């Protein structure tokens, strides 16, 4: 069992969810008082968001690189970044990281390929929907990606940062999310990617006839499998 290194705090709401999945699933498999060995570096989300807004991805990479070195020093054998948007800095990190990074894009693409999905809708922050890091990764696997119209991208971004990261959801935001999902379904998408680690707080399977791919759960399950020696493309 590999020592897991996590970069979290992006936001605390989703970091707690990751931690619960990792611990509960490992204990379900192994029983007793067995839990995975985890080191967490929890970052100040505001420092990252400020750099997102400035399009300063070198600055984002520098913060993440410092966290990766802290994890390496603490004994972690690989790392995962517990949020979608910071993965836009992944290409800047991959050449200098002291640890292998298990990405959220790879975990999600593997699940989509396993299920034969070829046309998917992507929901997330504006950065996730607009900067293309998911789209590029999916395209390499033969998967096409659609995102919301500009006004809906803006509204979903607001909901994420102003509500979900604080553990709060307004009824109007739930209604807006259902409208976004319905629009995606009308565009012929085969599935919806919840490409923000807080979106599972807002969107439930009952909200759409399309299958939902929750990147938080997919990533957490991939982290646990990798820690136990399973490759992403191995059968579960």
Q: At what angle do helices 171-186 and 150-162 cross, to 10 degrees?
A: 140
Rounded to 10°, the helix 12-30/215-227 angle is 50
Let me know if residue 233 belongs to a domain: no
Share of the chain residues as helix, strand and coil, in percent rounded to the nearest 5: 55, 15, 35
In a domain, 236, yes or no: no
**In terms of domains, do 120 and 160 share one?**
yes
Task: Kindly state whether residues 143 and 96 are assigned to the same domain.
Answer: no
Q: What percent of the chain has pLDDT over 70?
A: 98
* Residue 78 included in any domain: yes
Position of tokens 């680690």? 197
Digit-coded pLDDT (tens) for 54-71: 999 999 999 999 999 999
Q: Determine the pLDDT at residue 95.
A: 84
73 and 119 share one domain: no
Is 99 part of any domain?
Answer: yes
Q: Is residue 71 part of a domain?
A: yes
How many structural domains is the chain composed of? Answer: 2
Residue 189 in domain: yes
CB 25 within 8 A of CB 208: no
Contacts of 100 (CB under 8 A, 6+ apart): 78, 79
**Residue 109 and residue 68 share a domain:** no
Q: Which of 5, 22, 49, 11 is nearest to 201 (CA)?
A: 11
Which residue range forms the structural domain that includes residue 16? 4-103+217-227
In the predicted structure, residue 236 carries a pLDDT above the cut 80: no
CATH number at residue 221: 3.40.50.1860
Residues 91 and 14 in one domain: yes
User: Do residues 184 and 132 both lie within one domain?
Assistant: yes
In a domain, 160, yes or no: yes
Indicate whether 205 and 111 sit together in one domain. Answer: yes
Examine the domain organization and report whether 95 and 18 are in the same domain. Answer: yes
Work out the mean pLDDT of the chain and round it to a whole number. Answer: 94
Cα–Cα distance, 9 to 43 (Å, whole number): 5
Token pair recorded at residue 61: 């990479």
When pLDDT is cut at 50, 70 and 90, the band that residue 231 belongs to is: confident
């Amino acid at each position: 069992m590999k020592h897991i290194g996590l970069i979290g705090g992006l936001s605390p709401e989703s970091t707690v969810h990751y931690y619960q999945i990792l611990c509960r699933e490992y204990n379900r498999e192994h029983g007793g008082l067995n839990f995975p060995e985890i080191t967490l570096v929890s970052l100040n989300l505001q420092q990252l968001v400020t750099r997102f807004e400035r399009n300063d991805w070198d600055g984002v990479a520098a913060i993440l690189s410092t966290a990766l070195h802290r994890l390496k020093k603490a004994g972690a054998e690989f790392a995962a970044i517990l949020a979608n948007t910071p993965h836009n800095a992944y290409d800047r990190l991959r050449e200098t990281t002291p640890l292998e990074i298990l990405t959220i894009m790879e975990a999600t693409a593997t699940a989509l390929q396993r299920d034969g999905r070829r046309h998917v809708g992507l929901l997330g922050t504006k950065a996730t929907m607009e900067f293309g890091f998911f789209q590029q990764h999916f395209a390499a696997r033969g998967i096409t990606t659609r995102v919301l119209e500009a006004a809906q991208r803006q509204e979903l971004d607001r909901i994420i940062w102003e509500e979900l990261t604080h553990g709060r959801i307004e009824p109007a935001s739930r209604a807006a999310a259902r409208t976004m999902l319905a629009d995606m379904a009308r565009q012929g998408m085969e599935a919806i990617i919840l490409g923000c680690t807080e979106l599972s707080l807002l969107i439930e399977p009952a909200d759409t006839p399309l299958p939902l791919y929750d990147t938080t759960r997919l990533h957490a399950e991939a982290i646990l499998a990798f820690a136990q020696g399973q490759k992403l493309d191995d059968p579960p």
